[in-house]
Amino acid sequence: MIRTATLSPQAIFSSLADNSRLRLLAGSANFPLAHEVARYLGMDLSPMVRKRFADGELYIQIQESIRGCDVYLLQPTCHPVNDHLMELLIMIDACRRASARQITAVIPYYGYARADRKTAGRESISAKLVANLLTQAGASRILAMDLHSAQIQGYFDIPMDHVYGSPVIIDYLARKQLSDIVVVSPDVGGVARARAFAKKLNDAPLAIIDKRRQAHNVAEVMNVIGDVAGKTAVLVDDMIDTAGTITEGARILRKNGAHQVYACATHAVFSPPATERLSTGVFEEVIVTNTIPVPEDKRFDQLTVLSIANTLGEAIWRIHEDSSVSSMFR
């Protein structure tokens, strides 16, 4: 769970409002989250002009001096991924040319993270390419949440802080006081994530779904390793994209006797036909965070969206104050 400092960020920043070198800028990918983070820090977003030329090229101009400042740029690289990534790169370049002292790219959702290794010949490792682009653009530091694989941290030659959305989800589940919980990993690759989640959820037992992927965004569920009969199954993953994997997982959990099935993920990518699959009634509840904005047309009755603004705000404050970020989760 997140530890709080002796003095709240709000109290500190209200007393240092005029002298603080911290600046928070928001890309267009998730304005609501950026405003929540700014509110947690007790400050306003720095003004910025953003427009497109007739040919689609993006123009960005920062509307106040950031010379010598520590600038934090909040921008998840979610759909449309290429547009939001390019916008972030231009924001970084603008801050570098405006003589910012330090530029931290705050990336709640890191796009291209699934292309983190070569699985066949002649493939690109796009997660590493994006890391190179961010570094070459002028980023001094990266703050990211729930990367698809931990190895991506090693792709950066600049400092990186990795924070987690699971404490927010675990707190929410704890308040629901569910009984006979079993935490389920939707595949073997997510076992470490599910195990850590289960440990924090009162050392709940763990189950694993064995599946084989036959193509991108297509999964065939084979069987369940572990006892789920009569239990409340909590499926845990870092993201929900087309929802094929997690929905098939829920169905096989039901077939194996699970009493209820909950889906938990930090990143609500929700590519079609995710909404249709998730709203079929196979889940008691689908719990995600707001690292990616979820528009009204992608919402459904079983969906719960939790805010991770306080987590990001606390991490930003600790980085700015040269305090430990990892201790937030101990």
Residue 237 marked ligand-binding? yes
Cα–Cα distance, 322 to 324 (Å, whole number):
7
Encoding tokens for residue 113? 């993270």
Residue 93 marked ligand-binding? no
Residue 171 marked ligand-binding? no
Residue 6 marked ligand-binding? no
The helix or strand, by DSSP H or E, that contains position 215, with its residue range, turns out to be strand 206-215
Residue 244 marked ligand-binding? yes
The answer to whether 302 and 278 are in contact (CB under 8 A) is yes
The answer to whether 162 and 108 are in contact (CB under 8 A) is no
The answer to whether 240 and 263 are in contact (CB under 8 A) is yes
Following DSSP, what letter does each residue of 69-133 receive, concatenated? -EEEEE----SSHHHHHHHHHHHHHHHHHTT-SEEEEEESS-TTTT--S-SSTT---HHHHHHHH
Catalytic residue among 211, 231, 255, 298: 211
Residue 70 marked ligand-binding? no
Length of the chain: 330
Residue 257 marked ligand-binding? no
Residue 83 marked ligand-binding? no
Residue 123 marked ligand-binding? no
The answer to whether 66 and 46 are in contact (CB under 8 A) is yes
Cα–Cα distance, 172 to 203 (Å, whole number):
16
Residue 187 marked ligand-binding? yes
Cα–Cα distance, 11 to 16 (Å, whole number):
9
211 is catalytic: yes
**Residue numbers belonging to the annotated binding site for ATP:** 55-57
**Residue numbers belonging to the annotated binding site:** 55-57, 148, 187, 213, 237, 241-245
**Residue numbers belonging to the annotated binding site for Mg(2+):** 148, 187
Which residues are marked as active site?
211
